[in-house]
A and B are shown apart, each in its own frame.
Chain A
């Protein structure tokens, strides 16, 4: 029996900011979930199950917060699953929820991911020392900077490419009312003159720490028929993992990312992603990851990703817009960041992305990664139901 087609009929986000002092954790998730229900024209009673994700529990200091959040998520009397796959978790969470519908275990599922980084300190949360294991160096940037340098050396990319990405994403964010960083005075010179944090990554090329949540309502074909707004249809979704460190690991273009994308394209019948995909929401926490992932995801040949960025292909009005929402560089509630990518891809093909809408977007990719570039989750959504 073929899988049940899965439709995204509701998307909700909080306003993402550095510190949401006005809401508790429960209030934060409730805000996003209620917005997603409104978008779907549904009520809490229509939800059969809840799938929630976030990054490490140490980020807020609550162990297994799904227990405490059960009431706020309307989950009492329902199944509630909690996913945790590091930075990719927002994407993985959406995929677990989609599988519940695809397998016909449930008909309508609420999925939500969040992070309230202001409740604690993410750098502390990532820095608890363990004997005989390598520390994460100076935060995530310290881990990723050498791999960016390796990319530059391998491809000969000029050192100006990273700043182009940051400049683009921060301008896109101005069109997204939910984005955290809104800098109306942004200029390329401003990006390029920011202090160097982890060479070659400047302060202006890093993601912020945000409070925020993102929710989606996923449903079956019958649920999609009742949707007040056009749904986004899931055409393919996959997760892939590989170890953090091993002798054969390519940190610039991990095999798990390539395999994950290939699986999604196979499911969706995509032969040439560069031509067949209209918009990409890519997990780019440090600007140089845009050209790196353009290659890893098959949008550019090896060594050529930076040329797409430099040529303006990934601009909002370019041939392959990447992160029209402003991306992780503009908004980073860590656990939610992956789900925001998935949700923004859905908004694009539903034609509901507002000012940052890509004209005529019919197929969009949502991408998330986590850990030491070792966990990958992706989905491809389309405006039309999948052909079966």
Chain B
């Protein structure tokens, strides 16, 4: 495998609404910031890949306008996944592994404000038997949370503590949508209270990947991707053990996460209860710094939130605050699909 690193990361300030900005306008500053950080221009980039969802935009081919923002002339080598940007990063990593590119620009964006994101996500479900019943994303997460409580894996106080820690940590994150104290919160869908659920918001993120010496030339302390893998589970909640995440565990194993302890984990857990599931599946002990950015409970721009976990973990390595970090992204109801990457600073590898 070629050594590939995240060498730059940028994200927007995540906001409840961005009515005055198109997706392209929201994305452009982020693209410029990662390019400026490395000194690269669009024409220097070997491969470009993005993640987004037409359903959030409310129109087909919404990603084509975002491509205009990249500046794709002369024509570029480019692809798009209708998934969180973490999977776009995976596709770009594969492309670099083939040797056909040495650098990649990866970006993702999502505006949840134009619609009702809880209803929109309902359209992800089995279209014949489940989606017509409109069970929304919070209700499905609540099923998972109740299963955890029933199994004795957590209780409401522990969940509230996860929310409080996330909001507290988000105080140091200027991009976070929510930070500071968590109000006691209404019950949204029992047992979940408002604080157990992610904010609804708009945002974008971008990273640049580079291989080997190119990465060293572009970044003082590259965040090397030591392993990356993703796995999916069955769709039907009735055939899954909701208190566990075998797909996250398998992805972590394939990414080499269990070979040595990590010091940091950025988990894409939009609900407090999902952090409980992931901690257990990934074997993360109390010594691991979980979501120092505040995580998805502080800002959850759908389609970008997973890529942001990879970016936040990498940025911590860039700043010398972590030597070995785990980054996780999820997709689908109740953690159906999970991606895990292990990132390391140079000294940790030596």
Q: Give me 12 A-to-B residue pairs in the complex whose CB atoms sit less than 8 angstroms apart, sorted by A's number.
A: A24-B128, A58-B54, A67-B232, A70-B336, A78-B232, A82-B87, A83-B80, A84-B54, A86-B64, A128-B60, A374-B64, A374-B67
Q: B331 interface residue, CB < 8 Å from A?
A: yes
17 further interface pairs, Cβ-Cβ under 8 Å (given A82-B81, A241-B77): A24-B128, A62-B127, A63-B53, A63-B120, A67-B232, A67-B332, A68-B125, A68-B126, A77-B247, A84-B80, A103-B95, A128-B59, A133-B65, A239-B77, A246-B68, A260-B75, A371-B61
CB of B79 within 8 A of CB of A83, answer yes
Q: A57 interface residue, CB < 8 Å from B?
A: yes
Q: B216 interface residue, CB < 8 Å from A?
A: no
Whether A67 touches B124, Cβ cut-off 8 Å, given contacts A103-B94, A371-B61, is yes
For A61, list chain B residues within 8 Å (CB): 123, 127
Closest residue on chain B to residue A69 by CB atoms: B235
Closest residue on chain B to residue A53 by CB atoms: B82
Closest residue on chain B to residue A77 by CB atoms: B231
Q: A218 interface residue, CB < 8 Å from B?
A: no
Whether A77 touches B250, Cβ cut-off 8 Å, given contacts A240-B78, A243-B67, A371-B64, is yes
For A63, list chain B residues within 8 Å (CB): 53-55, 120-121, 123-124
CB of A99 within 8 A of CB of B74, answer no
For B59, list chain A residues within 8 Å (CB): 58, 128, 130
For A374, list chain B residues within 8 Å (CB): 64, 67
Q: A341 → chain B, closest Cβ, in Å?
A: 17
Q: B230 interface residue, CB < 8 Å from A?
A: yes
Closest residue on chain B to residue A129 by CB atoms: B59
Q: A250 → chain B, closest Cβ, in Å?
A: 11
Partner of B77 from the list A58, A67, A238, A244 (CB cut-off 8 Å) is A238
CB of A100 within 8 A of CB of B73, answer no
Interface residues of B in 76-92 (CB under 8 A from A): 76-83, 87, 90-91
CB of B234 within 8 A of CB of A71, answer yes
The 3 closest A-B pairs by CB, nearest first: A103-B97, A56-B60, A256-B75
For B236, list chain A residues within 8 Å (CB): 71
Closest residue on chain B to residue A257 by CB atoms: B75
CB of A248 within 8 A of CB of B73, answer yes
For B331, list chain A residues within 8 Å (CB): 64, 67
Against B, the Cβ 8 Å flags (1 = close, 0 = not) of A229-264 are: 000000000111111111011000011100110000
Closest residue on chain A to residue B82 by CB atoms: A84
Partner of B75 from the list A25, A92, A95, A242 (CB cut-off 8 Å) is A242
Interface residues of A in 58-107 (CB under 8 A from B): 58-71, 75-86, 92, 95-96, 99-100, 102-105
Closest residue on chain A to residue B125 by CB atoms: A68
* C-alpha spacing A57/B83, complex, angstroms: 12
* C-alpha spacing A82/B53, complex, angstroms: 11
Tier of interface size on chain A: 35 or more
CB of A64 within 8 A of CB of B94, answer no
For B79, list chain A residues within 8 Å (CB): 83, 85, 92, 95-96, 239
* C-alpha spacing A388/B131, complex, angstroms: 51
For A58, list chain B residues within 8 Å (CB): 54-55, 59-60
CB of B234 within 8 A of CB of A79, answer no
CB of A76 within 8 A of CB of B234, answer yes
Partner of A99 from the list B73, B95, B332 (CB cut-off 8 Å) is B95
Q: B322 interface residue, CB < 8 Å from A?
A: no
- B residues sitting closer than 8 Å to A (CB atoms) are 22, 48, 53-55, 58-61, 63-65, 67-68, 72-83, 87, 90-91, 94-95, 97-100, 120-121, 123-128, 131, 229-236, 246-247, 250, 331-333, 336-337
Whether A3 touches B75, Cβ cut-off 8 Å, given contacts A25-B127, A81-B91, is no
* C-alpha spacing A326/B123, complex, angstroms: 35
Give the residue among A64, A66, A70, A100 with the most B Cβ atoms within 10 A: A64
Q: B73 → chain A, closest Cβ, in Å?
A: 5
For B126, list chain A residues within 8 Å (CB): 68
Closest residue on chain B to residue A248 by CB atoms: B73
- A residues sitting closer than 8 Å to B (CB atoms) are 1-3, 24-25, 55-71, 75-86, 92, 95-96, 99-100, 102-105, 119, 125-126, 128, 130, 132-133, 238-246, 248-249, 254-256, 259-260, 371-372, 374-375
Q: B304 → chain A, closest Cβ, in Å?
A: 15
For B48, list chain A residues within 8 Å (CB): 241
Q: A285 → chain B, closest Cβ, in Å?
A: 15
Closest residue on chain B to residue A25 by CB atoms: B127
For B230, list chain A residues within 8 Å (CB): 79-81
* C-alpha spacing A125/B54, complex, angstroms: 10
For A64, list chain B residues within 8 Å (CB): 53, 55, 82-83, 124, 331-332
For B68, list chain A residues within 8 Å (CB): 243-246
* C-alpha spacing A103/B99, complex, angstroms: 8
For A2, list chain B residues within 8 Å (CB): 99
Closest residue on chain B to residue A50 by CB atoms: B232
For B99, list chain A residues within 8 Å (CB): 1-3
For B63, list chain A residues within 8 Å (CB): 84
For A96, list chain B residues within 8 Å (CB): 79, 91, 94
CB of B78 within 8 A of CB of A70, answer no
CB of B97 within 8 A of CB of A105, answer yes
* C-alpha spacing A60/B54, complex, angstroms: 12
Partner of A62 from the list B65, B80, B124, B233 (CB cut-off 8 Å) is B124
For B61, list chain A residues within 8 Å (CB): 56, 86, 126, 371
For A256, list chain B residues within 8 Å (CB): 75
Partner of B98 from the list A57, A77, A102, A241 (CB cut-off 8 Å) is A102
CB of A243 within 8 A of CB of B97, answer no
Give the residue among A84, A128, A240 with the most B Cβ atoms within 10 A: A84
For B131, list chain A residues within 8 Å (CB): 62
* C-alpha spacing A66/B231, complex, angstroms: 12
Closest residue on chain A to residue B47 by CB atoms: A239
Closest residue on chain B to residue A263 by CB atoms: B77
* C-alpha spacing A86/B65, complex, angstroms: 12
Partner of B73 from the list A125, A239, A243 (CB cut-off 8 Å) is A243
Q: A191 → chain B, closest Cβ, in Å?
A: 30
Q: A25 → chain B, closest Cβ, in Å?
A: 7
Q: B93 → chain A, closest Cβ, in Å?
A: 9
For A67, list chain B residues within 8 Å (CB): 124-125, 232, 235, 331-333, 336-337
CB of A79 within 8 A of CB of B54, answer no
Q: A269 → chain B, closest Cβ, in Å?
A: 16
Partner of B232 from the list A76, A102, A245 (CB cut-off 8 Å) is A76
Give the residue among B63, B65, B82, B235 with the most A Cβ atoms within 10 A: B82
Partner of A240 from the list B22, B65, B76, B250 (CB cut-off 8 Å) is B76
* C-alpha spacing A256/B76, complex, angstroms: 8
Q: B303 → chain A, closest Cβ, in Å?
A: 10
For A244, list chain B residues within 8 Å (CB): 64-65, 67-68
